[in-house]
A and B are shown apart, each in its own frame.
Chain A
Amino acid sequence: MKKQAAKSLRVFAIELAVYAVLVVCYFFLVLHLLGEWLYHLETQHRYIYAGVALLLIAGQAVVLDTVTTLLFRFLRGRSR
């Protein structure tokens, strides 16, 4: 039982580390590129900005959930 818990913790720690690297890449690539455009949209076209904001957050939720699920499945598979 203890061995199983230690294994789960190790897998979770690896998942967190891989996830952290992906998130850092995301900050520099996506947010840096989107920042100016979103700022312009927010000041000039509020309705489009509102729609884009919703699409971005929902899209990110779906993508990140898929990434974490795949990552978890991949690491679990390898640790067996």
Chain B
Amino acid sequence: MFFPISNAHINPIYLVVVGFIIGILGGFFGVGGSFIAGPALRLMGVDWNYAVGTDLAHIVGKSIVAAKQHRALGNVDLKLGFIMAFGTIGGAECGAQLIQVLKRAGNVNTVVSYVAIIVYSGIAAFMLWESRKTLRSAKGRSQRGLVKGAESKKDRSAFGPVTRNIQRLKIWPMITLPTSGIRISLWTILLVAFVGGVFGGFLGGGAGYIRMPSMVYVLGIPTHLAVGTDLFEIVISASYGTFTHAIKGNVDILIALVMHTGAVIGAQIGAVATQYFAGPKIRLAFVPLPLIGAAIVIYTLITGHKI
């Protein structure tokens, strides 16, 4: 099938399957799946600027469905989601402007590829280290008989002491989030959201691969709530990202529409699956995914052409 906007020939079945896979990832991990979608589009010869913008458009549709599912399951902190949307929008605009600068310089594909490899590998390494450490310490506690009943199901993180120190920072104004059960400075939330927004605007997608871990480790949000809230927030910020990239000529909405047909089914499966796994196990299962994205980008860099 020919997509005239991005001037690319792509099999629609390939797009539906990619959409289906990232739909499951989105529903399960609360991430947009851009670490798979972006490289998957690059693999078909779509330029990075189109891969970034189109992925954002597809994520708007996918996140609407997944966020609705998570809202029904009580996994969304609306107050936190709205606050984060402001920071993310600012960051997304910065990221989109960076793409424009690289586009004009003529090296957008090379620079974004290298940044993507570094970011995806870094995220995977960090989450592997943290979730294994958390699972090991939880196992040790239960073997020593320290953890009983409901306490054993509590969402733990090896990053807990750092999170508690961040929550102790009393920088006015302090925000209480009853749904998440924390009180934290508004600036910490906005900073986390802004950084996520920059990555989203630059590498595409909702940048859930950086914001979801940040929400858990930096803000101290329970993993299930972080997943749902991240998706809710992505609906707002990715809509803005789509608009700003579309007016810059970086969105092929036809590709996004086709990918989204597969994502609808995948998102429903993923959202239901989160009910059967504990937080650290969800995070451990997340580890190979950014590495797959990094491997695809390395392949396109080495071969220099599509499959």
Contact = CB atoms under 8 A, between A and B. Distances in A.
Given A19-B265, A57-B242, A61-B61, A46 B249 contact: yes
B57 A57 contact: yes
Contacts of A39: 4-5
Nearest to A63: B264
Interface in A15-62: 15-16, 19, 23, 26-27, 31, 34-36, 38-39, 42, 46-47, 49-54, 56-58, 60-62
Contacts of B246: 46, 49-50, 53-54
Contacts of B4: 35-36, 39
B5 A62 contact: no
Contacts of B86: none
B258 to A, nearest CB: 7
A16 B264 CA distance: 11
Contacts of A36: 4
Interface string B249-278: 101011011101100110010000000000
A64 interface: yes
A56 B243 contact: no
A64 B242 contact: no
A16 B269 CA distance: 12
Contacts of A61: 60-62, 64-65, 260, 264
Contact of A38 (B5, B64, B68, B258): B5
B97 interface: no
A58 B64 contact: yes
B239 interface: yes
B264 A64 contact: yes
B46 interface: no
B16 interface: yes
B253 A56 contact: yes
B65 A38 contact: no
B265 A65 contact: no
Contacts of B257: 31, 56-57, 60
Contacts of B243: 50-51, 54
Closest 9 CB pairs of A and B: A50-B246, A61-B61, A53-B253, A57-B61, A61-B64, A39-B4, A64-B264, A46-B247, A50-B243
Given A38-B253, A53-B246, A57-B60, 7 more contacts: A23-B261, A31-B257, A35-B254, A36-B4, A50-B243, A56-B253, A64-B264
Interface of A: 15-16, 19, 23, 26-27, 31, 34-36, 38-39, 42, 46-47, 49-54, 56-58, 60-62, 64-65, 68
